[in-house]
Amino acid sequence: DVKVTQSSRYLVKRTGEKVFLECVQDMDHENMFWYRQDPGLGLRLIYFSYDVKMKEKGDIPEGYSVSREKKERFSLILESASTNQTSMYLCASSFPRLAGGYENTGELFFGEGSRLTVL
Amino acid sequence: GQQVMQIPQYQHVQEGEDFTTYCNSSTTLSNIQWYKQRPGGHPVFLIQLVKSGEVKKQKRLTFQFGEAKKNSSLHITATQTTDVGTYFCAGLWGAQKLVFGQGTRLTINP
């Protein structure tokens, strides 16, 4: 089974702190994603990466950065946490939609989520 | 940017009643995926629709993709308490980037 592991289920941080959210997947997926989930807003894409050292901005990248030094690991960084970044953060991974001549489903496999509270 | 609108936001039904959630995009999608998130859990992939007019069934769940590939629906027949959760559609434009709808939260009175 695919496993996507997020380092922390619950975090409480103070305004201005630097926050690292780590995500590791064990299925050799090329694509990795960071979403935040807020009531009534669904899942909003922050950043995604389709290869090591590659990253693309999603719909709400402001206030966030990411790092992908190894294929299995994708980190989300909040340089200076603010109260409006209190949210559930979900990491996901997938094969690319077209890979090696085969069309994969591209279905996302999600981690359990990290609930961040910024005070 | 690309957006997927999903309605309704909430739906409460009696057990045994049917349930439908709808997704709409203003532009043509490459495909659409559906996910279910149980309370306290993470989204889990249900299905992907790719072809215009496609209809797929999984037991009591029926998924449809519109002829213009701009809308989709999920219909659950005779709901059961195990169907409780939030259902998300996610539209794909191009190759990699999925955009999720706001989700429909289904609650069921047993």
Interface test with A, best of B7, B45, B63, B104 (most A CBs within 10 A): B45
**pLDDT(A60) > 90:** yes
Tell me the sheet residues that pair with A11: A116
- DSSP secondary-structure letter at B81? G
CATH (domain of A37): 2.60.40.10
Question: Structural domain of residue A83, as residue ranges?
Answer: 4-118
pLDDT digits (tens, 9 = 90+) for B61-96: 999 999 999 999 999 999 999 999 999 999 987 666
- Alpha-carbon distance values, A103 to A93, B45, B95, B97, B107 (Å): 16, 17, 10, 15, 35
**pLDDT(B98) > 90:** no
Measured in angstroms, the CA of B77 and the nearest CA of chain A are apart by 24
For the segment B51-56, the average pLDDT, to the nearest whole number, is 96
Sign of the alpha-carbon dihedral angle for A62, A96, B54, B41? negative
Contacts of B100 in chain A (CB under 8 A): 35, 42-45
- Residue type at position B43: P
pLDDT at B2: 77
CB under 8 Å to A110, separation ≥6 — which residues?
A4, A90, A91, A92, B42, B43, B44
Alpha carbons B36 and B45: distance in angstroms, whole number: 7
Note the residue count of chain A: 119
Domains held by chain A: number:
1
Domains annotated on chain B, with CATH: 4-109 (2.60.40.10)
Contacts of B54 in chain A (CB under 8 A): none
Residues of B with a Cβ under 8 Å from any A Cβ are 1, 6, 9, 30-31, 33, 35, 41-45, 48, 88, 90, 92, 95-103
Q: Choose the weakest-confidence range: A4-13, A80-89, B95-104.
A: B95-104
- DSSP secondary-structure letter at A5? E
